[in-house]
């Protein structure tokens, strides 16, 4: 007998995988939609364009999801058809087994009846002719012979009918088996198509998320630069930035330090001081105050120096004793990453070890970094 669970067993892992995938896609959607800025009134044309692109990508995702749902429906329908066919095949095979047994019994019974009828017809007629007292006895004996012959004929008819039915059922069974094979092939093709649809949908999410997130980051950087520049314009270079203008800013010197507001103090050659000197012991660690990209500068007044270009502003570290290993111009670092060590290189050579720190809003001219440092250090 055919195992009725065989076809259904093959579907279970597939259906489980589809259900997990269909749960995964809405979670990705929530992540992407969470990137949309809340304050729509403050969005620039660029972010509006990015939002429109994201919405278009979402419509494409919905279309892909509809195709996935349709494929799932086809798969469920195939599973039902397979189950029905397997049930029919099981019943048909059972009937064939029973009919084959009946045929064997009927064939044996028919042979006995025919033989007995033949033998009995001859002997009974003869004996009746010899022993009967009158013609009525002979007719009675002949009636018995006819009944035996009728019974044998019915048995043979039954045998013939069952044999024909067996051939018909065997033919139908073969057709059902061929249909099962075709459905299983269709099932395999549907599963392959479903896997491709799922992969396409996931790729659509990945690309949409990355592209939209990049647009949002670019807009946020531009918006931050605008706010910082506006704050610097209102305060003036000497006034620096108001506290909180760079909310993720951290202290660049990770150790004991001291400094004061020395912006504008006179320097050699008629220059004025355009930063804040943060004094600390030689070798005190220096870290990135924000996320950004590094650019190295060597020689001149600043000695060993590092430029850190962040979102909306740049920062200059000068007079370093050395830079941290593993970094180079173009390296991207996250806030708090070790980038160097306090020293006295450049025109500070021979003097007190310190970090000369500058703040450049909008990557332009410097402003007084003291208010920002005082709030963070």
Per-residue pLDDT in tens (0 to 9) along the chain, 377 residues: 444 434 433 444 444 444 444 544 454 444 444 544 444 444 566 667 777 777 777 777 777 777 767 766 766 776 676 677 667 667 766 766 766 676 666 666 656 655 565 565 554 444 444 444 445 554 554 555 555 555 556 665 666 676 677 677 777 767 777 777 777 777 777 777 767 777 777 777 677 777 777 777 777 777 777 778 777 777 678 888 888 889 899 999 999 999 999 998 988 788 899 999 999 999 999 999 999 999 999 988 999 999 999 988 999 999 999 999 999 999 999 999 999 999 999 999 999 999 999 999 989 899 999 999 999 99
Q: Is residue 172 part of a domain?
A: yes
Domain match, 117 and 17 both: yes
CATH of the domain at 118: 1.10.287.1700
Q: Is residue 246 part of a domain?
A: no
Alpha helices, H only, 236-274 = none
Domains identified in the chain, total number: 2
The 3-state DSSP class for residue 284 equals coil
Distance CA 346, CA 297 (A): 11
373 contact partners, CB below 8 Å, separation of at least 6: 251, 252, 259, 276, 278, 357
Q: How far is CA 177 from the centre of its chain?
A: 37
Domain match, 19 and 152 both: yes
**Domain housing 317:** 268-376
Boundary of a domain, candidates 188, 223, 258: 223
pLDDT score recorded for residue 132 = 45
End-to-end CA distance of the chain: 81
Boundary of a domain, candidates 157, 188, 223: 223
Domain match, 18 and 158 both: yes
Model confidence, pTM: 0.51
Q: Which residue has the tokens 């009134």?
A: 41
Domain match, 195 and 289 both: no
- Please name the helix (run of DSSP H) or strand (run of DSSP E) that holds residue 354, with its range, or none: strand 354-361
Domain match, 273 and 169 both: no
Domain match, 79 and 13 both: yes
Q: Is residue 263 part of a domain?
A: no
Q: Is residue 64 part of a domain?
A: yes
Domain match, 74 and 145 both: yes
Closest among 311, 320, 334 to 253, alpha carbons compared: 320
Domain match, 276 and 219 both: no
CATH of the domain at 298: 2.70.70.10
Distance CA 309, CA 329 (A): 11
Q: Is residue 260 part of a domain?
A: no
Q: Which residue has the tokens 């990508």?
A: 57
Give 276's strand partners.
357
């Amino acid at each position: 007998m055919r195992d009725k669970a065989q076809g259904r067993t093959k579907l279970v892992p597939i259906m489980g995988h589809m259900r997990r995938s269909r749960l995964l896609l809405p979670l990705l959607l929530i992540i992407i939609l969470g990137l949309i800025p809340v304050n729509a009134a403050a969005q620039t044309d660029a972010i509006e364009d990015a939002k429109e692109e994201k919405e278009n990508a979402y419509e494409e995702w919905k279309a892909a999801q509809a195709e996935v749902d349709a494929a799932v429906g086809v798969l469920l329908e195939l599973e039902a058809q397979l189950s029905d066919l397997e049930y029919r095949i099981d019943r048909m095979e059972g009937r064939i087994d029973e009919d084959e047994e009946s045929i064997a019994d009927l064939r044996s019974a028919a042979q006995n009846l025919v033989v007995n009828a033949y033998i009995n017809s001859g002997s009974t007629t003869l004996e009746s002719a010899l022993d009967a007292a009158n013609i009525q006895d002979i007719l009675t004996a002949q009636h018995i012979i006819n009944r035996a012959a009728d019974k044998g004929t019915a048995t043979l008819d039954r045998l013939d009918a069952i044999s024909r039915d067996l051939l018909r059922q065997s033919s139908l069974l073969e057709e059902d088996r061929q249909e099962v094979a075709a459905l299983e092939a269709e099932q395999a093709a549907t599963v392959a198509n479903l896997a491709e649809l799922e992969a396409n949908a996931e790729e659509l999410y990945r690309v949409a998320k990355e592209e939209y997130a990049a647009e949002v980051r670019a807009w946020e950087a531009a918006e931050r630069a605008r706010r910082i520049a506006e704050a610097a314009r209102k305060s003036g270079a000497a006034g620096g930035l108001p506290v909180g203008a760079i909310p993720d800013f951290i202290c660049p010197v990770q150790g004991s330090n001291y400094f004061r507001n020395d912006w504008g103090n006179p320097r050699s050659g008629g220059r004025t001081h355009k930063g804040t000197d943060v004094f600390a012991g030689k070798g005190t660690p220096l870290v990135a105050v924000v996320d950004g990209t590094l650019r190295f500068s060597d020689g001149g007044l600043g000695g060993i120096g590092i430029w850190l270009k962040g979102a909306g502003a740049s920062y200059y570290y000068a007079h370093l004793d050395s830079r941290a290993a593993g970094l180079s111009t173009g390296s991207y670092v996250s806030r708090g990453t070790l980038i160097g060590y306090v020293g006295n290189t450049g025109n500070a050579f021979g003097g007190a070890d310190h970090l000369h720190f500058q703040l450049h809003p909008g990557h332009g001219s410097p402003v007084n970094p003291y208010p920002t440092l005082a709030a963070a250090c």
